[in-house]
Amino acid sequence: MTKTFSSTDDIRSGGELRHARQAVFAGPIQLQLGGVLPAVTCVYETWGELNADASNAVLVCHAISGDSHAARHGDDDDPGWWDGLIGPGKDLDTRRFFVVCPNILGGCRGSTGPSDIDPASDPPRPFGADFPRITIGDMVEVQRRLAEHLGIARWRAVVGGSLGGHQALTWAAQHPRMLETCVAIASSPRLTAQALGFDVIARNAIQTDPNFAGGQYYNQPARPDTGLAIARMLGHITYLSRKSMKEKFDADRHDPRSIASVFEQQFSVGSYLAHQGQKFTERFDANSYVTLSMAMDLFDLGEHRLMLMETFDESQCDFLIVSFSSDWLFTPSQSCDIVNALVALDKPVTYSEITSEAGHDAFLIDEDIAKYGPLVAAQLNRPGLRQRNPEATSTAEVTRAERAILDLIPRGASVLDLGCGDGKLLEILHHRGHSRVMGVDVAQRHLLEAASRGLDVIDYDLNQGLPAFIDNQFDIVVLKFTLQAVSNVASLFDEMLRVGRQAIVSFANFAHRSLREDYVTRGRSPRAPGEYDYEWHDTPNRRFPSILDVQEFCRERDVTICRAVYLDQQRDCQIEPDDEPNLNADTAVFLLARDN
Amino acid sequence: MTKTFSSTDDIRSGGELRHARQAVFAGPIQLQLGGVLPAVTCVYETWGELNADASNAVLVCHAISGDSHAARHGDDDDPGWWDGLIGPGKDLDTRRFFVVCPNILGGCRGSTGPSDIDPASDPPRPFGADFPRITIGDMVEVQRRLAEHLGIARWRAVVGGSLGGHQALTWAAQHPRMLETCVAIASSPRLTAQALGFDVIARNAIQTDPNFAGGQYYNQPARPDTGLAIARMLGHITYLSRKSMKEKFDADRHDPRSIASVFEQQFSVGSYLAHQGQKFTERFDANSYVTLSMAMDLFDLGEHRLMLMETFDESQCDFLIVSFSSDWLFTPSQSCDIVNALVALDKPVTYSEITSEAGHDAFLIDEDIAKYGPLVAAQLNRPGLRQRNPEATSTAEVTRAERAILDLIPRGASVLDLGCGDGKLLEILHHRGHSRVMGVDVAQRHLLEAASRGLDVIDYDLNQGLPAFIDNQFDIVVLKFTLQAVSNVASLFDEMLRVGRQAIVSFANFAHRSLREDYVTRGRSPRAPGEYDYEWHDTPNRRFPSILDVQEFCRERDVTICRAVYLDQQRDCQIEPDDEPNLNADTAVFLLARDN
């Protein structure tokens, strides 16, 4: 049933899919939108070895114009489209994992698609436009059969970018017990109306090409290459950011590369698009493009959070969601929609928006793979990292204020740490047996550090509120030494006490004796060791609260200070409540709750 | 030579151009790229009356798919594309101004274009694709001949949006003495590589349509409607913002309007695009679209500031530049490129980035016209506003600190006011005879107020530096009571003393007695009347400098404090330098210069 597959299709450096194998699944196979396929062929490639209990298999899902050749199989092999991520010793390490990448249903690289002969036709002819309408769910169903065929009951992870991310998310939603980890990169719950509009135009260009001939062009002298090339040109613009196009094409704008083409040759960007469009027609089938693009456009995990929560309600895997700042096709805010739903469901999820100028294509670019690849590695390393180690709960390396915070957290409480930094505090809580701890930060370095400790961590700017979280989701929400940099304090307090039953806020006391003395004697913007040790013109701080200020603020906003710990961190001692903490304490830690 | 023009073209509500007239200019007319036209017809509409000295004529330039019908001529007339701006009592007031809007060269609404008969052909046939390649400069040359024909030696203003803005800018660059004011809305110095790419695809769709027939389709049974419709669909997406498309199409995404169409009917956005595309083919000529879109793509005022400065070096008009925050086709940063060049050339320019979700189309939408229209009116009212009135130089209504600032400004000095607010201070300087005063602000309300005083004012965030300005461009740069809200103080000081020979900085002294007393006695984040009268958690301030702080800061950065004025604004008196200003003054005003 499994044999070496050979193709004469021209792909990238002219290589064939030398390492591909194929599996054939007997039908009839019922499709989600009502169609039926008599049988399905699935062509795939693999890297590494499946281990004895089949627990190390990772499914890699490709995007609309990709194929099974995700990585090279040896030094003499053609490069794969995800060579930067997949290989021996790489972030998706083929020495540890058995990686499987199938060509998707509906494509034109060996797996069943519109260019195959329709067995029901007489005389025999390709499906063409009669190929039944398929969904991402149908693609996933073929992958599920492949897993069965390979003896894999459960994927260690399903990983994909763009349309590949849609497949990974569909796995998590439709086969909740069949994967441990879902990694969706540059993905979305569904297309924006804008992206949908571009796809509609691309399909219109193909289907109105006179050579399209209703999809039965295979035996004709000419194929709908013009329409397919125009579709591809349009796709290319949406994969790049405006800035990356400027860098690519502005220097030699009026100096196009001379190529043989039916298309306009006026500008450098024009000759580039013509080249990309024409090259694409040599390796891609127009009916496949229409089929896959329609499947992507029909993909819809839900418009609103409630619908997305329903979609992922049964999911049992953990999630890594990655977006790119300059991706305007599948925008960061769309990834956030997924993250917000998962967080509200209390699913384990890590999210990072990678800063990149490369647009949607960033997920394929080595420079950006170097940024998000370590997050993939950390996610795959999690099971080992997350084993509880009671010896790792020492507070020897934390500050007195952090110890005070830890002491205020009830045993076993669920904890959200806003501005979690490297995640040290959450890691201690995890090893102490807290079952649900989560961090929020905005620095990519911190996100990676925290993720590398096996923690769930979300890339959010606190000044945008806490939209990801539902009411009373955590027992405790922690804000440690961040108050002085928050732009909207009142709404953040509201959010903390909406999301948490209680909140812990630690802050440096601006009315501490050392600051007052410095201010009065020097007549300068006050400075003292710690959070306020900055020049007036170069400080990240924008709020200067004293203990009395925060007390009054809580009183005015119906917030109870359940417990208060006052510290002189300089002298490494605690200040008693009757010892004028507003003068003598440089630090305060408050446990807060909403008045009933 | 002038006669009533009647057209059977279907445009908007089926109306013809009932009020259009035409002028015919005998040739041969030499085009900028080497072609020749034997003669040119120009169809145009007018509103209002030309006054006796022909000084009230305003030229309105339309965009790629627009025409001469910019506004209705009466209650029974079809609405025009700029009815929101143009009419009796509107911002472009046809009771005061004689407004002229011609159809552009190369179009298909009566002015000479590719669908006209080529007089050199035998047998006679339309130009088609043989229509010579034209530029925006050629369109402007026809408009110049029209001005001559109408007896207008100099336009009071040339106003346009999008491609119309390109025409207005070209007027300013190529005919510097023939206009008083240039208004360029949603415009750019040239297209981004991204926008260029979309245009290339649109032309490819038209020119590869088999019915295009090399442009000679006029006598054929079918025209290249499919290609033209696809071009228009693509255009439509680029005119809208992602957010406006979401609002338009997401609610009924899977519920398309049922229309008769050769195009896909799957999604609501698809039926909308199909409708727009098809409707366009009923009123537009494919050869015209190719001709005009190529003229736009060839338009290039310069890539860098130096090139743009060369372009506008001879300009004698004042400029109003307007962009829209969500316009991703002609981006705000492209408008800034123009503004930066004009400012560096010391040309009178006002710039505003209007906050809008409507994308590029914002310039046509009443809601946004209501935001930028008053700026157009202010610009047209300028000559009256800007007459000097010595009686308007009273400082009765300014604060003591503002009087101190005014006193520090040498007679006749050129002044840049950063954070100019409503422009009151600059207006006083203007009436005192200062020939060059300019404001910078970020609040749209302030920009309009300052512009309504006849001032040049630029919409810039100070925290991005002062890229518009060249070294030593102004005698004095003023920063009044903004220091406490600046995010990067050091680089702003550097910028101020790069752009100005001297700088005046006024600020509230954080070490003033009242704040110290408040701080020490209350133990709270200090408050006092004035700039520091905010709650700690709700203040726009993020810097808290004392007089000593700013003095030291200047010393460290090689900045000389040439003069210092210390004030107690609460008690309305001046504090002498030997009377402990850091304790007794609530306000300081420094005149600064870079050390030599």
* Residues on chain A touching B538 (C-beta within 8 angstroms): 489-490
Amino acid (one-letter) located at A315 = S
Bridge partners of B459, per DSSP, are: B441
Check if the beta carbon of residue B478 is closer than 8 Å to that of residue B504: yes
Residue type, B144: R
Among chain A residues, CA nearest to B329: A242
**Strand, helix or coil for residue B258:** coil
Over 80: is that where the pLDDT of A12 sits? no
Subunit contact B524:A245, Cβ cutoff 8 A: no
How far is Cα of residue A120 from the mean position of the Cα atoms in its chain?
A: 42
Q: What pLDDT is attached to residue A526?
A: 86
Answer yes or no: do A549 and B328 touch at CB < 8 A.
no
Strands B456-459 vs B474-480: parallel, antiparallel or unpaired: unpaired
Residue A304 corresponds to which tokens in the numbers above? Answer: 């609103």
Please give the pLDDT value at position B440: 96
Supply φ then ψ for residue B23, to 5 degrees: -125, 145
User: In whole angstroms, how large is the CA radius of gyration of chain B?
Assistant: 28
Of all residues in chain A, the one with the smallest CA distance to B486 is A537
User: Angle CA(A546)–CA(A551)–CA(A553) in degrees, nearest 5?
Assistant: 95
Give the orientation angle of helix B163-174 with respect to helix B286-298, to 10 degrees.
50
Both structure tokens of A43: 């062509």
Which of A255, A272, A331, A536 is most worth mutating to test chain B (most B CB atoms within 10 A of its CB)? A536
CA A445 remoteness from chain centre? 16
Looking at A19, A166, A360, A446, which residue is catalytic?
A360
Rounded-to-integer distance, Cα B488 and Cα B466, Å: 12
CB spacing of B536 vs A543 below 8 angstroms: yes
Q: Range with the lowest mean pLDDT among A7-11, A430-434, A445-449?
A: A7-11
Q: pLDDT digit of tens for each residue in chain B (596 aa)? A: 332 222 323 333 334 677 999 999 998 999 999 999 999 999 999 999 999 999 999 999 999 999 999 999 999 999 999 999 999 999 999 999 999 999 999 999 999 999 999 988 999 999 999 999 999 999 999 999 999 999 999 999 999 999 999 999 999 999 999 999 999 999 999 999 999 999 999 999 999 999 999 999 999 999 999 999 999 999 999 999 999 999 999 989 988 988 888 899 899 999 999 999 999 999 999 999 999 999 999 999 999 999 999 999 999 999 999 999 999 999 999 999 999 999 999 999 999 999 999 999 999 999 999 999 999 999 999 877 778 888 887 877 889 999 999 999 999 999 999 999 999 999 999 999 998 999 999 999 999 999 999 999 999 999 888 988 999 999 999 999 889 889 899 999 999 999 999 999 999 999 999 999 888 888 888 888 888 888 889 888 888 899 999 999 999 999 999 999 999 998 999 999 999 999 999 999 999 999 87
C-alpha distance from B304 to closest chain A C-alpha (Å): 11
Q: Is A471 an annotated catalytic residue?
A: no
A chain contacts of residue B248, beta-carbon cutoff 8 Å: 193
**Closest approach of chain B CAs to the CA of A539, in angstroms?**
8
| Preceding peptide of B123 cis, ω within 30° | yes
Query: Do the chains contact at A200 and B233, CB–CB below 8 Å?
Result: yes
- What are the Cα distances from residue A110, in Å, to A44, A129, A290, B270? 9, 18, 17, 31
pLDDT in the model for residue A260: 83
Per the CB < 8 A criterion, the answer to whether B322 and B375 are in contact is: yes
For residue A13, what pLDDT band results from cuts at 50, 70 and 90? very low
Q: Is the CB of A266 less than 8 angstroms away from the CB of B204?
A: no
pLDDT of residue A16: 66
- Quick check: is B360 catalytic? yes
SS3 per-residue string spanning A222-260: CCCHHHHHHHHHHHHHHHCCHHHHHHHHCCCCCCCCCCC
Q: Which residues of A touch B511 (CB under 8 A)?
A: 519, 523-525
Q: How many CA atoms lie within 13 A of B157 on its CB side?
A: 27
- Considering only CB atoms, which chain B residues are within 8 Å of A249? 193, 196-197
CB contact burial B168-196 (16+ within 10 A = b; e otherwise): bbbbbbbbeebbbbbbbbbbbbbbbbbbb
The catalytic residue among B93, B138, B318, B327 is B327
Which among B19, B360, B430, B434 is annotated as catalytic?
B360
* Least CB–CB distance from A264: residue in B200, B331, B523: B200
CB contact under 8 A, B196 and A510: no
Active site residue B187: no
Alpha-carbon distance B472 to nearest alpha carbon in chain A (angstroms): 24
* Cβ <8 Å between A196 and B226: no
CA distance linking residue B246 with residue A303, whole number of Å: 11
Q: How large is the average pLDDT for residues A540-569?
A: 94
- CA–CA separation, B106 and B117 (whole Å): 13
pLDDT the model gives residue B11: 35
In the predicted model, is pLDDT for residue A209 greater than 50? yes
Percent composition of chain B: helix, strand, coil (DSSP 3-state, to 5) = 35, 20, 45
Tens-digit pLDDT profile for residues A306-324: 999 999 999 999 999 999 9
pLDDT class of A527 with cuts at 50, 70, 90: confident
Which of A242, A303, A537 is the closest to B192 by Cβ? A242
Q: Are A413 and A476 in contact (CB under 8 A)?
A: yes
Q: What number is the ipTM of this complex?
A: 0.94
Half-sphere exposure for A84 (CA within 13 Å, toward CB): 15
Subunit contact B537:A546, Cβ cutoff 8 A:
no
How far is it, in rounded angstroms, from Cα A116 to Cα B557?
74
Contact B544, A534 (CB under 8 A): no
- Say whether B266 and A541 touch across the interface (CB within 8 A): no
Q: Which amino acid is at B149?
A: H
Q: How far is B112 from chain A (nearest CA, A)?
A: 24
Q: How far is A1 from chain B (nearest CA, A)?
A: 39
Q: Residue A463's pLDDT band (boundaries 50, 70, 90)?
A: confident
pLDDT tens digits, A32-78:
999 999 999 999 999 999 999 999 999 999 999 999 999 999 999 99
Q: Mean pLDDT throughout A405-421?
A: 96
Domains of chain B: 44-108+134-191+300-384 (3.40.50.1820), 199-294 (1.10.1740.110), 389-594 (3.40.50.150)
> What phi, psi does B87 have (nearest 5°)?
160, 175
**Minimum distance, in Å, between the CA of residue B73 and any CA atom of chain A:** 37
Nearby residues of B142 by Cβ (< 8 Å), 6 or more positions away: B25, B40, B42, B102, B104, B105, B111, B112
Q: Using CA coordinates, name the residue in chain A closest to B211.
A: A210
Question: Looking up tokens 């709270």, which residue turns up?
Answer: B524
Report whether B594 contacts B558 (CB < 8 A): yes
